[in-house]
């Protein structure tokens, strides 16, 4: 039986935008690609036991994910506020496109090592998959260099919320060109890096998936109250960065030109027990 985590065959890559994120990066730098697998709880199942799910995922993490040298990071995120309460996201990062492909092969090798008996291995993977609906989807995003690295991490005693803002590039805009990256850096340096409530910030663009207009921003905060304070602090820092209202409006107009003006907001909570 093939691993239920195995990504769809990746035989073609066409990035919508030409960015220098396609250059190889070292481990000390930010990851190059992010994969997001959307699983969905099977609420009709009588076996939807969170403790049993965690035990199975912990075993798989210890025997496979944590030993896979091609997976740079891996975290599950549970729904808190989104349009589908059955969502459960597996987010993994990679240093290169080839590492994504290599990781699926390595997963299969590690599964064979962990459960050499085929029947036992098939039973384990079948038990893992019973928590989810058959349908799932995979998205791959290319990372942008404008980040605020996450330095605080979730623990079983302390949650870490992931606030995701999903915007859409306008067909009339220029896309994430050099000017867009410069505007991103201005906001990062003047706003996000100075906002103490933002524990980490990452920006990603579509590389492979259902919507090439997506621009995904991920903000890590410690609590719901900190999320509210984050928005207030952003407004305060914007006023400090552009004290003249005319300059503030011009900056906003330049940045807004890249987007349709429609965005979605999502909040997830990290599962720290089996995170890499």
pLDDT tens digits, one per residue of 32-86? 999 999 999 998 876 678 899 999 999 999 999 999 999 999 999 999 998 899 9
Average pLDDT of the segment spanning 132-157: 88
pLDDT of residue 171: 72
pLDDT of residue 48: 77
165: closest CA among 208, 220, 210?
A: 220
Contact 268, 79 (CB under 8 A): yes
Contact 206, 274 (CB under 8 A): no
- Judged by phi (left if over 0) then psi (alpha if -120 to 50, else beta), residue 209 lies in left
Looking at the predicted structure, is the pLDDT value of residue 3 above 50?
no
The neighbouring-strand residues paired with 266 are 164
Over pLDDT 70: what percentage of the chain?
A: 87
Q: How confident is the model at residue 159 (pLDDT cuts 50, 70, 90)?
A: confident
pLDDT in tens, 118-136: 999 999 999 999 999 988 8
The overall longest dimension of the chain from CA atoms, in Å, is 69
pLDDT of residue 175: 64
Q: Which residue has the higher pLDDT, 242 or 209?
A: 242
pLDDT of residue 16: 30
pLDDT of residue 240: 96
pLDDT of residue 47: 67
111: closest CA among 40, 54, 62?
A: 62
Q: How confident is the model at residue 1 (pLDDT cuts 50, 70, 90)?
A: very low
Q: What is the pTM of this model?
A: 0.82
pLDDT of residue 5: 38
Radius of gyration of the chain (CA): 20
Q: How many helices (H) and strands (E) does the chain have?
A: 6, 8
- The DSSP code sequence of 66-118 is GG-TT--EEEEEEEEESS-TTEEEEEEEESSHHHHHHHHHHHHHHHHHH--SH
Q: Tokens 């979605």 map to which residue?
A: 264
């Amino acid at each position: 039986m093939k691993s239920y985590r195995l990504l769809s065959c990746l035989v073609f890559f066409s990035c919508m935008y030409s960015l220098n994120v396609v250059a190889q990066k070292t481990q000390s730098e930010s990851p190059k690609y992010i994969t997001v697998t959307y699983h969905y709880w099977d609420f009709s199942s009588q076996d939807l036991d969170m403790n049993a799910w965690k035990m199975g995922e912990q075993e798989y993490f210890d025997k496979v994910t944590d030993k896979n040298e091609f997976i740079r990071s891996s975290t599950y995120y549970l729904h808190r506020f989104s349009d589908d309460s059955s969502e459960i996201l597996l987010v993994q990062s990679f240093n290169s496109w080839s590492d994504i492909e290599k990781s699926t092969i390595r997963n299969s090798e590690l599964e064979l090592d962990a459960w050499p008996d085929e029947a036992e291995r098939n039973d384990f993977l079948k038990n893992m998959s019973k928590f989810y609906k058959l349908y799932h989807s995979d998205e791959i995003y290319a990372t942008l260099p404008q980040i605020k690295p996450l330095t605080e991490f979730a623990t079983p005693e302390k949650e870490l919320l992931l606030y995701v803002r999903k915007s859409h590039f306008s067909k009339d805009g220029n896309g994430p060109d050099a000017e867009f990256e410069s505007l991103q850096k201005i906001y990062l340096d003047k706003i996000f890096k100075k906002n103490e409530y933002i524990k980490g910030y990452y920006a990603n663009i579509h590389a492979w998936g259902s919507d090439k207009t997506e621009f995904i921003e991920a903000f890590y905060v410690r609590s719901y109250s900190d999320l509210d304070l984050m928005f207030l602090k952003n407004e305060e820092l914007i006023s400090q960065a552009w004290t003249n209202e005319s300059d503030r409006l011009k900056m906003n107009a330049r940045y807004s030109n890249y987007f349709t003006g429609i965005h979605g907001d999502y909040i997830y909570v990290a599962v720290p027990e089996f995170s890499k």
